[in-house]
Structures are given as C-alpha cells and as structure tokens.
Structure 1
C-alpha cells in the first residue's frame, strides 16, 4: 500500500522533487535545491504560484529556506524553521544563507535608519524575524542594536539565536492579545490559531508543526479532561482550530469569530464552536 506524503512538508511535484525523496516519490527530475533567505518583513507562502491563491503560512525576515524552483516570478521553497513547502514571490528572497545572529522576541518592533527612536521607521519586523547585529549604541539612555545594513532596533527587543526568550508559552501568546486574525498568518501583524501556538512554543525553545491537524497528531502528549486536571499551557483542539488554556477555565486563541487574538471562558467557547464545528476533538499537553 502506497502512502501519499504530505505536500505541506515534502517538496514534490510530477516534474520535480527534493532529491531526499527520490526513493519515495516519482518525478521527472530531482534537485538538492539552493539555500536562500527572506529579505522582506513578511512573505506569504501559498499552495500555488498565483497572486490570488490562499495563504498557507508566512516566511519572516531573515528566515532561511531551500529553493527548489523559480519560474514566472515565483519560488517553490521549503522553510528551514518548520519544513513547510509552498510558493512565495521570487523578489521576497535572496541567495545564500542569512548568517543572522539575533531573533526578534516581541510581537512587533520598528527598524530605524539609525540609533534614534525619533527617526521615521524604515519598516517593522515580527517576532521570530532574524537579524544580524554588528554593534551597540545608546541614544538618550536607550540601547540600540546596530544591524549589518546600517539600520537599528531597540536592543531589548532582540535575543541572541539559541537563547530562550521565555519559559512560559502562554505568556508569549498573551502578548499577542488583540492582534488581528489572519488565515495562514504567522506574524505579529496577523496570526491564525496554529500560528499563535507555533510562535509561542518556539519562544520557549519548543518546535511545533505549523497546522492545527499536524499539532493535534504529534505535539506533546494527549490528555483526557475526564481524568486529567487541565492546566495552564494545555492545548484544546477542534476540527481546524486550536487554542491554549490560560488556566483550566480560560481559552486563549486566535479566533475567527472575533477576528483577533482573544481570551474567553473555555465552556463558552466549547458551546459556541459546537454549533458550527462540533465539540473538541482532543486535548494535548506540549
């Protein structure tokens, strides 16, 4: 019996496939791909190379990826952070690994043309964006990280790569309260339910799959609310949805109902969601 590989995490098409999949899939040719990195604050990753295609996920500034194909202004890639496969605009990436040193650890932060918060920002970066810090400066008592392109960020908003930013994933998720809901969103500018879970866990040093069905199948350990005492940090799953427990009675999630990250009583959420999608499908402890 042949098992079809999940195209979200395996790069293969009839004409081309990741060479690592050569023994598992049939394609006209195989490639190792080429290293590249993201050079825009946020790049939408889609299942098809079309401007009006849905958003599956997002790639963030400084994020590394593998490029398997480029055609008609689109790059077919696999993200290094979570292995997600899809298409993004060719002009959103640059060749080679990023060589970054620091991670943005707040939901959103400005990038200034120099070490002064009075300067008009060049752009903004989301949590989990990666930058290269080359030095430090201080202006009127505020510490700045100087970046390799001459710009600057608030130093307190960054942490060296590999350094855990938080011990509490729920506290990270709480910092996103009122962030707009965005289908496929994975940034401080717009985020979906599974993106919030992935982002918050990443800040505590825990890797998580991107989509809620993948998280429900493999993240942490299943628990039974009829026998196990629910606690802060547990995950509640529905068909196509997931949220954190802020405590045993409170759900924290990116809600398509309110269209922003919100908290609400768990039982109220269960009752409301049941009318459209049924009861929870499972509970897990990451």
Structure 2
C-alpha cells in the first residue's frame, strides 16, 4: 500500500482522473491518505480523516512511508487558525494556507513533514473546544461563496462548512450531508436543540442534500449561495432575503 500527504495549500479531489472532472472535495495542507490506485498522472486516494475517496494529481502530493502514515493518524493534531496565513521552510520560501490545515508534529512554532522542517507562528487550534465555540467558528466563514466540493473560506459547500467548523473545534464529521446525518442523537423537536446542533434537509426524493448549524432564537447558519444566516422553523429554512422557504427540514441531530 502507498501513502501520501498534501504538501500544497488547497488541492482538488476529483470524481474522475481528469482536470475537467467534477471536484467532489478538497485536500488541505497536511492531510494524509492511502493511495488505492496509482496511474501515470492520477491517483485514487482515501483520506484518513473522513475516508473520502477521489482522484488527485500526482504532482500535488508527496509520498510518505507507512510508518509516517500511522504516526500522523495517531498524533494529537494541531490546526492552523488564521483565515489565511503562511508558513516558511528552511530557505524562507513562503506557502499560503487557509484555516484548518494540519501542522504535522507541531511544537514551538515548528512542524515537520518527513525530513523537512517548517515554521508557523500564527494562531493554532488543538483538542476539543466547548460547544459554544461552534457558532464562533462558524462566523469565521460568514459570506464565504458557495463552491461545490469546497472546504475553505474562499469557497465552501454546505457539508464542507459544517465539517470544517466542527473540525476546528476538535470534533469529527463525515464529508457529505447524508453521511453526517447518520452521526449523533436525533432530536424530536427544534425546541430541544441547542446552538451548535445540526439540522438536515432533504429533496423531493427524500435524499438528504443540505445541512446547517442551528443558532439561538431559531436562526441557522448554512452555505446556500454563500454562508448566510436565515430562520429555521418546523417546515425548514426561511430565507430572510427572498421571504420564501428554501429547504425542507428532515431531522435535527445533536453531535456533541
């Protein structure tokens, strides 16, 4: 089995082995994975963080040993905490990174990938934060434009948004809304929910296609056109701009 790690800021994960194929997700710097298939230009991979699969360009990652993969999987993770920042290598070359990147084996403003050492002196997050912090971290993404497959403050989809907010707070969510809906405890009524709980919404076929984070006073923050705040009622999401319901409520889950 081959293993790899993302050594660039943001890398597309594609449905098929082509630059023109749909982007299903993104890898952020420091995320590691198994290589399921390797071809001349593309590799099909499975991310260690959420088991998500897709194709990545071979020029956009570096191979690591199985031993390094296991150490990365078991380490106490430290994440970059600035909306946009940079780190430097031993030659003072700079690389920009968005919030939520892994900083492998971070210690005293330094981290390492293989034999290479890097410096990062920005804000970091590590360990589990209180449930109250979920809304604070969600606000960091407010007005981020919607991007199918996106996971950064420069473009994000609904489940990428919830996954990244929870990740910054030290909690694990799956990548897609339908999979996130299998996690946690079902709540019977909106009135039972707390800020930080998740609301899921389905389409006419009953498939869960949308997710948002519940706030106090029956508001919800979610990615729809952009990361925005709307009202949540027993029918679903009521868009404060269009004065119409946009999503049909399916279930509310308490993850924490």
TM-score (norm 2): 0.79
Instruction: Show the counterpart of 1:74.
Output: 42
User: Are residues 1:110 and 2:58 paired?
Assistant: no
Q: Distance in 1 between matches of 2:38 and 2:129?
A: 35
Q: CA deviation at 1:110?
A: 2.4
Higher strand share: 2
Provide the residue aligned with 1:93 in structure 2.
Answer: 61
| Larger Cα-atom Rg | 1
What displacement does 1:242 show? 0.7
- With over 3 angstroms needed to count, the CA separation of the structure-2 counterparts of 1:282 and 1:73, relative to structure 1, is same
Is 2:187 the partner of 1:223?
yes
CA offsets 1:252-276 (integer angstroms, 9 cap, x no match): 11122xxx21212325972449978
Pair 1:126 & 2:90 matched = no
Structure 2 unaligned segments of length 5 or more: list them. 203-208
Task: Name the SS of the counterpart of 2:34 in structure 1.
Answer: strand
Q: 8 Å contact 1:251–1:269 — kept in the other structure? A: no
What is the aligned partner in structure 2 of residue 178 from structure 1?
A: 143
1:252 corresponding residue in structure 2: 221
Aligned to 1:200: 165
Q: Distance in 1 between matches of 2:55 and 2:11?
A: 10
Secondary structure at 2:186's aligned position in 1?
A: strand
After superposition, the C-alpha distances for 1:81-102 in whole angstroms (9 at most, x for unaligned) are 0000110111111111366663
Task: Output the CA distance in 1 between the equivalents of 2:154 and 2:238.
Answer: 29
User: Partners of 1:152 and 1:200 in 2: how far apart?
Assistant: 25
Partner of 2:205: none
Q: What is the TM-score when the length of structure 1 is the normalising length?
A: 0.71
- Aligned in 2, Cα 1:102/1:244: closer, same or farther, shift over 3 Å? closer
Q: Give the CA deviation at 1:79.
A: 0.1
Runs of 5+ in structure 1 lacking a partner?
1-32, 137-144
Q: Residues 94 and 166 (structure 1 numbering): CA distance in 2 closer, same or farther, change over 3 Å?
A: farther
In structure 2, which of residues 9, 17, 42 is the aligned counterpart of residue 49 of structure 1?
Answer: 17
RMSD: 2.9
Does the 8 Å CA contact 2:37/2:45 hold for their aligned counterparts? yes
Deviation at 1:62, TM superposition (A): 1.1
